[in-house]
Amino acid sequence: MTAADRFRAAVDRRDLAALDDLFTEDIRFYSPVKFTPFEGKSMVLGLFGVLLRTFEDFRYIGHHTGTAQTGTDGTSAASAVLLFRARVGGKELHGIDLLHFDDEGRIKEFTVMVRPQSAVHALGEAVLAGLVADGLVPAPSGQ
């Protein structure tokens, strides 16, 4: 079973402990709703806890594997693209997870791309609320 297969199975089971084993300590997570990446295993695991609660009817619908340049240092790394569908706040969305692996097969970079824009907006609001509720980020000023 490949690292991408193990990741997909962990997400299907909503198994944060299995995800913990798959992430490097310095993982970077590039979100469609935040300009700078989420960094570090504890933050990314917290984010996944929120995501697993936020997505409705989440399912992977395909995958591609190969190599791609990382965003961190531009080196070529083993990678996988997992295509998914889900709902957030009643909005249907379609997206991809781009995973970059280190030499041991752990995920060192994770990029999510989602469409359409209305779903990205709904996702951003739901994830921010979850991050604030879990104490992972401060509430925006004015709230």
- What pLDDT does 52 receive? 92
Report which DSSP code applies to 138. P
- What pLDDT does 89 receive? 85
**What is the total residue count of the chain?**
143
The answer to whether residues 56 and 42 touch, using CB atoms and an 8 Å cutoff, is no
- What pLDDT does 143 receive? 56
Low-confidence ranges of the chain (pLDDT < 50): none
The answer to whether residues 89 and 122 touch, using CB atoms and an 8 Å cutoff, is yes
Task: Report the distance separating Cα 141 and Cα 80, nearest Å.
Answer: 38
State the amino acid at position 85 in one-letter form.
R
The answer to whether residues 49 and 16 touch, using CB atoms and an 8 Å cutoff, is yes
pLDDT for 110-135, tens place per residue? 999 999 998 888 889 999 899 999 98
